[in-house]
Amino acid sequence: MKLNKHKLGGFEKFNRVTPHTHFIISTIFIILAVICIMPVVLVFMVSISSEQSIQQVGYRFWPEEFSLEAYSYLYNSKDSILRSFGISILVTVLGTIVGLILNTTIAYALSRKNFKLKSFFTWVIFIPMLFNGGMISSYIVVSTMLNLKDTIWALILPMAVSSFNIIILRTFFQTTIPDSLIESAKLDGANQFRIFTTIVLPISLPAIATIGLFLTFAYWNDWYNALLYIDNNSLVPIQALLNRIQGDIEFMNQNISLLGASASEILDKLPSESVRMAIVIVVVLPIACSYPFFQKYFISGLTIGAVKE
């Protein structure tokens, strides 16, 4: 039966969106999307600009002179860059998996009312959000006590567990997982591990997808742990490698008077500004291309695992 649009009552009249309002909302979101995309476009255009045009007219959306010198400079280091890409991918994948396992299991234990040490461990997890031991104590624990220096685990374990992520997951488990569902599973003879893996995790896909995205971006963008714990060049991730390349260029530019006339001529042709932008594109492009795939699973997780009445 069709409803007369002029006789809608209750909340239905507030849920309707007129074509005029739909057009305004769509226009606003299109403008916001363009505003978000424009900086990326500018960075890319600067990365394909010649160094001379940048020095003369500055950053522009349409370069005065196109050049691929920046990408050519990075291509000359392709062996080390490809190796670092592999390290970053490995760290990101392993770190996300390990982080999800640790964060979800800790959060689930803290969300259960019958866990006797719930209050104590909640404070243990909450306090590091306000205070931490600092860089020196962290370095001593990772490099000396755990002996992880110059290993792949030095890039994974320090970031695997986060108090913020645990609290988000614990709150989700407490507010979303019905106690009656857990009790029913216990009456059927299921142990805690089976309840967690077959009941809790499928229902919690939205929260898990969110924390997974947080971990993925954090591991991919991390360079600080490599600066502290990695001296072996074969274990340097892409962020740290490109940061070193940029640092070397800045050092040479700042000390150009000490390098001699021949070196000065080479540095004058070195695409320092465009290389910075090319580094940004090289770092951002892989994670930007993979985000739509993560988003698909994230959105599908919002509709999977609902408890039906």
User: What domains are defined for the chain?
Assistant: 69-301 (1.10.3720.10)
What region, left, alpha or beta, does residue 112 occupy, with left being phi > 0 and alpha being psi -120 to 50 degrees? beta
Query: Which pLDDT value is given to residue 287?
Result: 75
Query: Which pLDDT value is given to residue 43?
Result: 86
Instruction: Name which residue leads in pLDDT, 264 or 188.
Output: 188
Query: Which pLDDT value is given to residue 84?
Result: 86
The SS3 assignment for 243 reads helix
At 4, which amino acid appears?
A: N
CA–CA dist 192, 109 (Å, integer): 10
Whether the per-residue pLDDT at 2 is higher than 50: the answer is no
Structure confidence at residue 206 as a pLDDT band (50, 70, 90): confident
Highest mean pLDDT among 102-111, 135-144, 252-261: 102-111
pTM above 0.85, yes or no: no
Query: Which pLDDT value is given to residue 307?
Result: 43
Lowest-pLDDT range of 102-106, 114-118, 226-230: 114-118
Long-range contacts (CB closer than 8 Å, 24 or more residues apart) made by 243-251: 245/74, 245/77, 245/275, 245/279, 246/275, 246/276, 246/279, 249/275
Instruction: Name which residue leads in pLDDT, 85 or 11.
Output: 85
Q: What is the pLDDT of residues 88-98, one digit of tens each?
A: 989 999 999 99
Structure confidence at residue 304 as a pLDDT band (50, 70, 90): very low
Percent of the chain with pLDDT over 90: 12
User: Using an 8 Å Cβ cutoff, are 125 and 167 in contact?
Assistant: yes
CA–CA dist 246, 40 (Å, integer): 19
Query: Which pLDDT value is given to residue 259?
Result: 58
Q: Please state, in angstroms and as integers, the Cα–Cα distance from residue 25 to each residue in 5, 15, 19, 84, 299, following that order.
A: 21, 14, 10, 43, 22
Query: Which pLDDT value is given to residue 269?
Result: 57
Q: Which helix (H) or strand (E) holds 96?
A: helix 78-111
